[in-house]
Chain A
């Protein structure tokens, strides 16, 4: 399946990873394409979705029900089969809230090396803003043959101990949460039950670039020149750098992973899915807050 030839996409490092709403509209009936909606709000799909799109619920479809981990080879093959997806299928992911869960679903799918995965630029928001068709009719795909592929956590996924070693080596980390979360401030608001981390702050050495910095107000990605300015010039990430992106549970950071990897072409980017929910609750890991020494020391 050829890349979307739209001019905006051509300056990205991997234009074949993004599609425009225009392209999607003309490929809805293509039998080699499966459109998958992944939203933060699990009921949004039911209120209306792109015609023919299947729903991939990040919470129930992609996660192991017992272990805090993603589905295994069998689970993934079963999910793909149910959704009518073969190894040759072009999967186009889209969703609400600037595609942050769609990016997460795409990242998990990439752990299994599915060859052709793409994100819809602008997501659900742009599709709707353009007055394009929505349907509440649920598709009933024929179960497809999907091979059993072992998940590969070595290339684009980072685990806590790897992140600790990376931090100790002065490695680049991008914390894509809000400034208040990054500084640790948000865990000190009285009367508000908090998200579930015992400690606030960030991983030592992490830079703070909130994930939405990569997007325009209409939900689309900023163009390549702007992204280069933000991440390569201002943040100073190099093409050869090993970079770890994280947020709270790895969903916002999947969006940034996508931007760095597929739009800017960095090859050493990993998503730390444990993120702050793990780090902020882990015993004796070093935490940094602005203006304070790291405790415990790296």
Chain B
């Protein structure tokens, strides 16, 4: 594959999925779902900063923060949606703590590099693209607010 390197630690994630049989890919996605950190106390009570991603069939909320020039991602996805949590886990693992410029450079076709089309429906894959879109829009908003 001659694709340009991905920002942050996303290349590691793509590597992790590469070449795995379909069932094992699903297990790995479940691992990412289980690895998604719980929401910090502060957010548990105040959901104001969260934005809903409508493309996701299930209620799914995203919030980003800029701290010391680093992006922090917060995802609120229900336990009944392990696939969505898996996507959130992937984005968290790949981008949390990275510089805003890195987050904004993630290409829109990133989800297709995971090779999940066989395992996960196209509708679901659009969901992860939508989550990425919301994250990037929020980061742009944070940057604009700071300047």
From B27, B83, B119, contact of A60 by CB (8 A) = B119
Cβ-based interface call for A195 (8 A): yes
Cβ-based interface call for A59 (8 A): yes
Cβ-based interface call for B66 (8 A): no
Query: Is the beta-carbon distance between A42 and B81 smaller than 8 angstroms?
Result: no
Which parts of B56-99 form the interface with A (CB within 8 Å)?
57-58, 79-84, 86
A65 to chain B minimum Cβ distance, whole angstroms, is 9
**Which of A18-26, A43-51, A150-158 participates in binding chain B?**
A43-51
From A46, A97, A193, contact of B57 by CB (8 A) = A97
Query: Is the beta-carbon distance between B55 and A193 smaller than 8 angstroms?
Result: yes
Query: Is the beta-carbon distance between B119 and A42 smaller than 8 angstroms?
Result: yes
Which parts of A183-228 form the interface with B (CB within 8 Å)?
189, 191-196
From B30, B55, B120, contact of A195 by CB (8 A) = B55
Query: Is the beta-carbon distance between A46 and B30 smaller than 8 angstroms?
Result: yes
* Bound-complex Cα distance A41 to B85 (A): 10
Cβ-based interface call for B118 (8 A): yes
Query: Is the beta-carbon distance between B57 and A40 smaller than 8 angstroms?
Result: yes
In the complex with contacts A97-B57, A193-B133, A41-B26 CB distance below 8 A: no
Cβ-based interface call for B130 (8 A): yes
In the complex with contacts A192-B54, A193-B133, A43-B118 CB distance below 8 A: no
Residue of B with least CB distance to A277: B123
Query: Is the beta-carbon distance between A41 and B84 smaller than 8 angstroms?
Result: yes
Cβ-based interface call for A175 (8 A): no
Cβ-based interface call for A273 (8 A): no
Residue of A with least CB distance to B132: A193
* Bound-complex Cα distance A43 to B116 (A): 13
Cβ-based interface call for A37 (8 A): no
In the complex with contacts A43-B33, A59-B121, A192-B80 CB distance below 8 A: no
Residue of B with least CB distance to A47: B82
* Bound-complex Cα distance A193 to B86 (A): 21
Cβ-based interface call for A288 (8 A): no
In the complex with contacts A42-B120, A46-B26, A193-B80 CB distance below 8 A: no
Query: Is the beta-carbon distance between B130 and A44 smaller than 8 angstroms?
Result: no
* Bound-complex Cα distance A228 to B77 (A): 36
Cβ-based interface call for A121 (8 A): no
* Bound-complex Cα distance A41 to B119 (A): 11
Query: Is the beta-carbon distance between A192 and B130 smaller than 8 angstroms?
Result: yes
Cβ-based interface call for A96 (8 A): yes
* Bound-complex Cα distance A60 to B83 (A): 15
Residues of the B chain whose Cβ atoms lie less than 8 Å from the Cβ of A44: 80-83
